Copies of this chain bind each other. A is one copy, B any other.
């Protein structure tokens, strides 16, 4: 189905779909240098390249914010919709019915999804649409120049805003209790993990939330507060070492996975997530375990990252709606307009 662009020259490295890494890029970033969001965009590019994803099989969505701009900076060959502040989930909901073979990749911010958009966020979880939902979480509104978002640390002091008095919203907890089917947390300062989690999330069928701490170097990068590179580096505690094993790849433990507590989670497309538990006994299929872990992490002031929860069995939005196997947006009049003879029956149903 895909129409890969011809690769220029023989020495450009390409993946199985014949695309070069360049084919996964977007426009040059207009974000600040050092912004966490840029590093995440790079990992999206890398993950899609590695996974041999055809860009035309992806649709990008975002709300409004620095984070929400970033879909411009990756997968330039995918359709994209930079929507309204806090309203990305609704746009995605409608659009993802159009062609069920298309995967959604969405990027939002903490302001976008935890402040104005928390309602749409919660209800998106319930619908379990087939979409990767990244929240680039920096605790502030970047684009409007540094106000507190709902994820801002309590006690954080910012220039014009004073001190934040409100307890923060935990996006992973929010996703969990709304019964999201894939919940993870990562840190823009840990690109390796970001990439593996992205791959796992992209293979998940249903909504896959990744809350990525993504420092705003311009407005909120204080060493002693969450959402800074320094704090993240000091306080990160990965739950697992994660590696994504594509479908049909020989299942073999890598050397560094040899010892330790290995768990494998099979995804619907035949791929695997291989987890080497750092916190042994952590069960990523238990909502209660996940909630308990997050509460404890909060108490202990740790940035626990990794795959927090996964439920591969929850039916996705397309299944819940018992949708036709054919893309709806390619259907024509003969599919969509009931036959002429039905109109008489309909009139008969009236009085």
Interface residues of A (CB under 8 A from B): 115-119, 122-123, 126-127, 150, 165-167, 169-170, 173-174, 177-179, 287-288, 291-292, 295-296, 315, 320
CB distance from A53 to the nearest CB of B (A): 29
The 10 closest A-B pairs by CB, nearest first: A119-B119, A167-B179, A173-B177, A288-B295, A165-B320, A126-B166, A118-B119, A291-B291, A118-B122, A126-B167
Q: For the complex formed by this chain, how many copies does it contain in all? A: 2
Min distance, Cβ A220 to any Cβ of chain B, angstroms? 19
Chain B residues contacting A287 (CB-CB under 8 Å) are 295
Q: A119-B118, A123-B150, A287-B295 are in contact. Are A177 and B170 (CB under 8 A)?
A: yes
Q: Is chain A's interface secondary structure helix, strand, loop, or mixed overall?
A: helix
CA separation between A115 and B173, bound complex, in Å?
A: 18
| Chain B positions within 8 Å of A179 at CB level | 167
- State the CA gap A169–B291 with chains docked (Å): 16
Q: Which residue of B lies closest to A115 (CB)?
A: B123
Complex CA gap A115/B120 in Å reads: 9
When the two chains form their complex, are residues B169 and A122 in contact, meaning their CB atoms are under 8 A apart? yes
Q: How far is the CB of A196 from chain B (nearest CB, A)?
A: 27
Q: A72 CA to B338 CA in the complex, in Å?
A: 49
